[in-house]
Amino acid sequence: MTVARQLLEEEGLDSFSMRRLADRLGVRAPVIYKHFASKSALVAALISVGFEEQAALFEAALTSSDHPLTAMAGIYRAYGRDNPNLYRLMYDRDLERPLLLPGSEERAVIPAVRAAGGNRDLARAAWAFAHGMTILELNNRFPRDADLDAAWRRGMASLDPSSEASGPGRSGHGQD
């Protein structure tokens, strides 16, 4: 999985293929098919790993922050910035849920719902805001001089009444 993920991040979604992965591993493509029935199965495995990673990060935010919903938004943003092609694979394409590792998607959802006080609608609204901001940032859709950290703080303040004026922007990842 590590090599598949490296290939995905280095070469992007359009170049990601079983043949390219086999070349990277120094094997023939049929060897890959012994482990994954199809490219879709490999993609689902990568997405499942991403959900598991996010779940662990989100769970840590639940216990380490007075404002877990805002903290999770910051983690979500950082995850997208650190893993842009995996992020796009996870959240910007059709999701073949039956191929995911059982429970992986729900494991990432549960901490967000808990951070939203059990309110799934609030968790969805926070996720929609975080996703919109993240994908627009990854796709360079904001003007160069946009203060994205300020936009994140404002957006999360409107969704997380317990949040302070600080939030996801504290990481210093905004565009200048």
Measure the CA–CA gap between 134 and 23, rounded to whole angstroms. 32
Measure the CA–CA gap between 137 and 89, rounded to whole angstroms. 16
Supply the pLDDT for residue 13: 87
CA angle 70, 74, 80 (to 5 degrees): 140
- Which residue segments constitute the domains of the chain, with CATH numbers given? 47-162 (1.10.357.10)
Measure the CA–CA gap between 174 and 1, rounded to whole angstroms. 30
The pTM score is 0.87
In 3D space, the residue among 67, 81, 41, 42 whose CA is nearest the CA of residue 171 turns out to be: 81
pLDDT averaged per 10 residues in sequence order, the chain, 176 residues: 95 91 94 94 97 96 90 96 97 95 97 95 96 98 97 94 52 39
Token representation of residue 102: 């059982």
Longest dimension (CA), the chain: 54
Measure the CA–CA gap between 154 and 107, rounded to whole angstroms. 28
Measure the CA–CA gap between 62 and 115, rounded to whole angstroms. 7
Q: Can you spell out the DSSP letters for 153-164?
A: HHHHHHH-TT--
Q: Which residues contact 171 (CB under 8 A, 6 or more apart)?
A: 74, 77, 78
